[in-house]
Chain A
Amino acid sequence: MRKKGVLILLALLILAAVIAFLTRDSYLERALESAGRAAAGAKVELDGFHFSLFRLSCSWDRLQVADRNDTWRNILETGRAAFSMEARPLFWRRVIIRELSLENVRSGTRRATDGFIPVKPGPRAEKKPGMLAKVSSSLTAQMQDLPVLDLSALGTTLNIDSLIAVDNLETFRAYSELRRFTDSTFSVWNDRADPAPYRDRLAKLEADIGSLNIDRITDVITLAAALKKVRDIQKEAASLRKDLNASYTALAGTFSDLDTRIEGVDGGLASDIERAQQLARMRDLDVRDVGLLLFGAPLVQKTEKLLGYMALTRRYLPTAEKALSREKKRRPPRFQGQDIRFPFTRGYPAFLLRSARFSAAGAAADTSGPFFIEGTVTGVTTDPALYGRPARFSLTLRKASGDTYGIQGMIDRTGAVPRDSLRVTAAGIDLGTIALQSGANLPAAVTAPSSDLGLAGYLSGEAVDISLNMAAAPVTFSYTGEASDAVSRIVRDVLTGLSRVTISARLQGDSAGYGLRMNSNVDRVLAGRIRAVLDDKVSRARQQVETYVRAEADERRQGIVALIEQNRLTTLAEVDALRKQVGDRVDALEKLKKEIEQRLKE
Chain B
Amino acid sequence: MIWLKIISKFIKAFRSGSTPGRIAAGFALGFLLGVTPFRSLQGVILLTLLVLLDVNLAAGTVAMLLASLISIPLDRLFHAVGFSVLTLPVLQGFWTFLYNTPVAPLSRFYNTVVMGGFLTGLVLFLPLFFGMKRLVTAYRSGLDRRVQQWKIVQVLKSSRLVRFYLNIRDLGGA
Contacts and interface: CB of A to CB of B under 8 A. Distances in A.
A91 B92 contact: no
B106 interface: yes
B100 A338 contact: no
B90 to A, nearest CB: 14
A335 interface: yes
Given A5-B53, A91-B105, A92-B105, A341 B75 contact: no
A601 interface: no
A337 B113 contact: yes
A341 B96 CA distance: 9
A569 interface: no
Interface residues of B, number: 30
A337 B92 CA distance: 19
Interface string B59-92: 0000000000000100100110011001100001
Contacts of B116: 337
A36 to B, nearest CB: 25
Contacts of B105: 91-93
Q: Is the interface of A mostly helix, strand, loop or mixed?
A: loop
Contacts of A341: 110
Contact of B100 (A1, A5, A8, A346): A346
B106 A340 contact: no
Contacts of B79: 332, 337-338
B114 interface: yes
A338 B96 contact: no
Chain A interface category by residue count: 20 to 34
A9 B52 contact: yes
Contacts of A91: 102-103, 105-106
B54 A337 contact: no
Nearest to B114: A337
Nearest to B100: A345
Contact of A344 (B72, B83, B100, B113): B100
A339 B111 contact: yes
B84 to A, nearest CB: 11
A383 to B, nearest CB: 16
B58 to A, nearest CB: 13
Interface string B104-136: 011010111110100000000000000000000
Interface in A331-361: 332, 334-346
A330 interface: no
Given A5-B57, A335-B72, A343-B99, 11 more contacts: A1-B53, A88-B102, A92-B105, A332-B79, A338-B79, A340-B112, A341-B110, A342-B95, A342-B99, A342-B110, A346-B100
Nearest 3 interchain pairs by C-beta: A337-B113, A91-B102, A337-B112
Interface of B: 48, 51-54, 57, 72, 75, 78-79, 82-83, 86-87, 92, 95-96, 99-100, 102-103, 105-106, 108, 110-114, 116
Interface of A: 1-2, 5-6, 8-9, 88, 91-93, 332, 334-346
